[in-house]
Structure 1
């Protein structure tokens, strides 16, 4: 009998490992964790890890912890802690029990460090940073032992206690594991496991002035929480040796079924940066409006832009889980949100580049109420009310005085259908001094309302519109890729690959029913794209709509 839910899900090497562990009896349950560092907002790459760790726990009816890797207080902030919790919830997942912090284990971590010192497996080193790098060697040359490597255990215990009491300066010394300076793996050449930092910690305050390093903290935290499968990205593959070394040499973690680390390829997405350090630089320098700028690849940014949790989860499912590094086309992410919104987003009309239309044979002062479906195929969404009158606005690109046969919109002397309304014919137009059309004069046929006009007339072109007196002014933020190169991480500087047209602002009009549009809820603006009201800047008094995604892939 399978341990996993019966829903068909793509298999991968991690699922195969879990299945083998459960079948062999090595583990009787699945317990994963998601361990973000609270030094920035989560991005789409973290979404892959969230969906993997929480998704496996769900599928195998197991547990998943949310644990903050908070060992670097200088770069961490409670705002990041809160945003990460919000992102995990928004994606549709719930962690097991209380939130964990690596700082919860600082007392135990300190005792485990003392245990290593007592076993002669850790020592206090007074080499400075430059000297430490010099002694470490290179990928081609082995390192050499620190002159402090053979300090007696008793002295190391005293020195480490002085470190804990704050009797040394930052950078003056560090606690290092005693492993192998000739190891072919750099991470095994006596890595630092504790360093001095006189920094206030958002969870422990000023209790500590020494903080454990990630590689020492992570494996012990996993073991203390009884994690069965510790999933990391490939850059931690070599570090698995240190992960195992630490646990191998601590008495509490000798069980044969203890936690093991497994690595998978991180998400590399075209036109996207996945470095929180570089993303933070964009925020600090004001090149974006914040971590939740809709051009950012952060989960908060995607949410503000109108992406849905279901679309992101589907994207993570499609890209799969492998050990092979690759670059994912951004069109795959766009396709996921486009498919999701095409099925679920209500329809509306918005005119982004408005030009006035006057229907000369429509009675002056008269307006009428028309009905249109909120969605073309989902009847349960109901109907929406439109206002029609003598003066309308259409998009300026939907009118030509002359055009070839491929142009299916309004041409002077020809007819076009207004979406969910009448057929109109363009008779003439006014222009300004620059030659731009300012007003189009039309006539309409009052027998052509609806999908099945009484006269059976077939008009090829259909355009969208809004009625002039009832339409609501709106700002449209048209977002494009933040970078103009597929691999911005390869550029010498971020500035040289920034897309100067990543945000274009337009001012136009929307149908009146959108005045109270719900923030972050996407609408299909017919023939324009998917948009949502901005969660920060939009209000009934000043509507602001963000472009979520175009109706089709513009790269094709």
Structure 2
């Protein structure tokens, strides 16, 4: 018996179905990433009808909020004969570790999802594309679409403008492409300190969308990377790496949470420029946004969870008090219950907060048909069966699961002295009290009917 429900339709499913019907995803080609335009054009047809991806940053353990994205991306790929990639967006060397990579892989597997298809492991790392992304950056500089800016981060913030006021051009915005290219190569060679300069896209400092006001593409970070070591000292910004990674992997539907909606114009701008420069091949990925999972009274910020772990307030990332998937697993949650929870939430663009009871109910619904039962008396009082021999015991039994009365059973003795819950007895019962009280008959579950003939108290009442 399963508690998982059939997938319900949503706006993302409608988009995918329309894309498949329109035929614009046909004749796509796929090559192992990083697949530039030349590699893609020479490749075989893509065996996947669609490609999605789950792209966590390995800077912490996955939490319940990630479960929705995991189930959505892997679920859509499965339902539409596609492939979902597991991609590690490891572009920030100061916070990422191999421990987190291993933990993420373990949790995605635990939830029941795979990225190995026909012998091919579709597990990728942004760091594997660093050389390709850098070559794309040089192409943008040479074409006049990017420049090296020597303003400080604070100066960039001051000249970016506001929602109602246009930004101000950098003094280095119109420097010659050859000069920017020379400086970019110096940045890569490690000849400049952190914060000394950055590579920015040249778009529109007066754009009403602040994300298009010459966003930073590369910053200098002299830090050791968990995979590439000290090979690089410049690292791509996520807003630049994200669309490039999607394109290099042949992703068709790039599904993000709503906070990335304002970044979509930059996502499209980057890909269009790279197609024009012959670096990428069409069709291009398209970004879609959905509302993230927010649980009432639950903190899912990885920064705050990391603080709890590092300062020793909890026993680790898998502490059962934490909303991490590892913590929920230790608390007793099952993969099926979390998948059921995510399915019941649906997919919308409207932000909302979900009560924790919805998650708990999903666990109950998953466990109820299969979980073995046990009984515990938490606040006991003694029950003496006065007409039962003191030296005798009868063996009673009950099904381990009431939904399977013919299945395995547990056995327990019925003796002269038993214990019942204190709340199951009243000397002076209120109206409509149907449990044990003087003169009343009740059935002891899986045993016999008893009549209360009175009660006695000790010196403590």
SS at match of 2:455: strand
Which residue number corresponds to residue 25 of structure 1? Answer: 23
Q: Distance in 2 between matches of 1:286 and 1:407?
A: 49
Which residue number corresponds to residue 53 of structure 1? Answer: 73
Residues 245 and 400 from structure 1, CA distance in 2 versus in 1: closer, same or farther, beyond 3 angstroms? same
Q: Distance in 1 between matches of 2:233 and 2:368?
A: 54
Q: Distance in 2 between matches of 1:416 and 1:359?
A: 13
Task: Give the C-alpha shift of residue 256 in structure 1.
Answer: 3.9
- Residue from 428, 434, 454 that aligns with 2:455: 428
TM-score normalised by the chain length of structure 1: 0.72
Q: Distance in 1 between matches of 2:169 and 2:229?
A: 36
Residues 255 and 107 from structure 1, CA distance in 2 versus in 1: closer, same or farther, beyond 3 angstroms? closer
Q: Distance in 2 between matches of 1:408 and 1:294?
A: 38
Q: Distance in 2 between matches of 1:316 and 1:389?
A: 47
TM-score normalised by the chain length of structure 2: 0.86
Q: Distance in 2 between matches of 1:360 and 1:165?
A: 91
**Equivalent residues in 2 for 1:456-471, closer than 5 Å:** none
Residues 428 and 225 from structure 1, CA distance in 2 versus in 1: closer, same or farther, beyond 3 angstroms? same
SS at match of 2:104: helix
After alignment, is 199-208 or 211-220 more displaced? 199-208
Which residue number corresponds to residue 193 of structure 1? Answer: 217
1:119 aligns with 2:139: no
Task: Give the C-alpha shift of residue 214 in structure 1.
Answer: 0.6
Which residue number corresponds to residue 95 of structure 2? Answer: 75
Which residue number corresponds to residue 321 of structure 1? Answer: 347
SS at match of 1:158: helix
Task: Give the C-alpha shift of residue 71 in structure 1.
Answer: 0.8
Give the structure with the higher percent strand.
1
Q: Distance in 2 between matches of 1:356 and 1:164?
A: 79
Structure 1 unaligned blocks of 5 or more = 1-6, 436-556
Q: How many residues align?
A: 428
Q: Distance in 1 between matches of 2:456 and 2:227?
A: 68
Q: Distance in 1 between matches of 2:419 and 2:365?
A: 29
Q: Would the aligned equivalents of 1:247 and 1:253 in 2 still touch at CA under 8 Å?
A: no
Aligned CA RMSD, in angstroms, stands at 2.3
Q: Would the aligned equivalents of 1:173 and 1:195 in 2 still touch at CA under 8 Å?
A: yes
Which residue number corresponds to residue 367 of structure 2? Answer: 341
**Equivalent residues in 2 for 1:528-543, closer than 5 Å:** none
- Residue from 160, 174, 199 that aligns with 1:150: 174
Which residue number corresponds to residue 136 of structure 1? Answer: 160
Which residue number corresponds to residue 196 of structure 2? Answer: 172
Structure 2 unaligned blocks of 5 or more = 27-48
Which residue number corresponds to residue 292 of structure 1? Answer: 318
1:245 aligns with 2:269: yes
Q: Distance in 2 between matches of 1:255 and 1:51?
A: 29
Task: Give the C-alpha shift of residue 381 in structure 1.
Answer: 3.7
Q: Distance in 1 between matches of 2:287 and 2:217?
A: 19
Task: Give the C-alpha shift of residue 217 in structure 1.
Answer: 0.8
Q: Would the aligned equivalents of 2:399 and 2:406 in 1 still touch at CA under 8 Å?
A: no
Residues 137 and 372 from structure 1, CA distance in 2 versus in 1: closer, same or farther, beyond 3 angstroms? same
* Relative contact order, higher structure (CA 8 A, sep 6+): 2
